[in-house]
Amino acid sequence: MSPVLIALIIVLALVVLILISNIKVVPQANAYVIERFGVYYTTWHTGIHVKVPFMDRIARKVSLKEQVVDFEPQSVITRDNVSMQIDTVVYYQITDSKLYAYGVERPIMAIETLCATTLRNIIGELELDNTLTSRDKINERIREILDEATDAWGIKVKRVELKNILPPREIQIAMEKQMKAERERRARILDAEGEKTSQILVAEGHKEAAILRAEAIKETKIREAQGEAEAIIAVQTAFADSLKMLNAAAPSDRVIALKSLETFAQVADGRATKIIIPSDIQNMAGLATVLKELVVDGNVDHTPKQPSGDTTVTTTASSSAAARPASAATNPVLPSTPGGNFGTGFAGSVNTNVTPAVNAQEQLRSRARQALENNRR
């Protein structure tokens, strides 16, 4: 083979190698900045591109994906002169490859420096408590300032986050004590509210119980009063019926006189030391006649008996008694003897027929006393 042919093959091989080496494929979410003769020529995006040998060069390969950079803690001082360490996290994305390549030298360091100075300015306007509770506001303000400054660098700042806020150890201890005191205060408040609610419920329970007891007593008294009223009405009705029956029977004067004597015997059997005979018993002569007939018929025991107890019988006379003669055997007075026995004399005259009446009275009193004793037993 001739030397010329060999040289030609070598030249063709070199040309092929140079062409192949200048064929470039740009990946997804990437961009290449191309310079020709040292001047920005174009930007390659995703796809196959051919570079002109010895004329074009790739000045910078740029990633268009969102990126995260964590900066070192920065020393800041609050408005109330508290020194602390704050580290930030910045999320950014390159939107213009040309500006990113030619806008600023070392753009990440530029962003870090700008973030630190902006953070110091913002924290210097806030006190410690506001710094700890206003993270969202601080993040938003830093993002706005960085985004505005990095527009000329082809960078879009998406988010800025304060990763850690580290106050001095003494401040941390004070904050822990404050937090503990606050929690204890809340616990005491909750305990007091629970005790208050419990006492209120107990008092309401006592109140309702007292109301129910009062209503029960009220209902009991009402029912007792109603029962007593019905009993009284029943008794009075029975008494009225008995009077009607008595009037319908038309009793004779002798029966009425006998009933009066029995009632007098029952009254005399009590503990009273004085007995007042009503003025309605105006005709003792008729009563004596009845007693006489009873004695004649043999129904009365003629043996005198001593009454029990010291009893004085006084007769109250009506205004009509003065019109009758003094010799009549009316309105008897049975004085009490020193021995406690009833006398046998009438006012105005002496009548021996009184002794049977007294014996009859004593007999009736004995019978009434015996009936009461049987009832008590």
Total domains in the chain come to: 4
Arithmetic mean of pLDDT, 353-359: 52
Residues 313 and 200 in one domain: no
CATH number reported for the structural domain that contains residue 87 in this entry:
3.30.479.30
Final residue of a structural domain among 226, 250, 274: 250
Residues 102 and 90 in one domain: yes
| Cβ atoms of 361 and 291 closer than 8 Å | no
- What pLDDT digit, counting tens, does each position of 163-219 carry? 888 888 888 888 889 889 999 999 999 999 999 999 999 999 999 999 999 999 999
Residues 284 and 359 in one domain: yes
Q: Is the pLDDT of residue 91 over 80?
A: yes
Residues 95 and 163 in one domain: yes
pLDDT at 111: 92
Residues 278 and 364 in one domain: yes
Final residue of a structural domain among 133, 149, 167: 167
Q: Is the pLDDT of residue 243 over 70?
A: yes
Residues 87 and 190 in one domain: no
Residues 308 and 335 in one domain: yes
Give the pTM: 0.48
pLDDT at 355: 52
What whole-number percentage of the chain has pLDDT above 90? 40
* Nearest by Cα to 357 from 302, 280, 282, 310: 302
- What pLDDT digit, counting tens, does each position of 12-21 carry? 888 888 888 8
Residues 231 and 302 in one domain: no
CA distance 280 to 320: 11
Final residue of a structural domain among 167, 197, 220: 167
- What pLDDT digit, counting tens, does each position of 37-80 carry? 989 999 999 999 988 888 889 999 999 999 999 998 989 999 98
| Cβ atoms of 51 and 22 closer than 8 Å | yes
CA distance 361 to 355: 10
pLDDT band at 329 (very low <50, low <70, confident <90, very high): very low
pLDDT band at 313 (very low <50, low <70, confident <90, very high): very low
| Cβ atoms of 20 and 35 closer than 8 Å | no
Residues 72 and 135 in one domain: yes
CA distance 15 to 18: 5
pLDDT at 321: 36
pLDDT at 289: 52
CA distance 273 to 271: 6
Residues 43 and 101 in one domain: no
Residues 229 and 259 in one domain: no
Residues 264 and 339 in one domain: yes
Q: Which domain holds residue 220?
A: 176-250
Sign of the C-alpha dihedral computed for residues 217, 220, 226 and 232 taken in this order:
negative
pLDDT at 26: 93
- What pLDDT digit, counting tens, does each position of 212-240 carry? 999 999 999 999 999 999 999 988 898 88
pLDDT at 43: 93
365 contacts: CB under 8 Å, gap ≥ 6: 265, 268, 269, 307
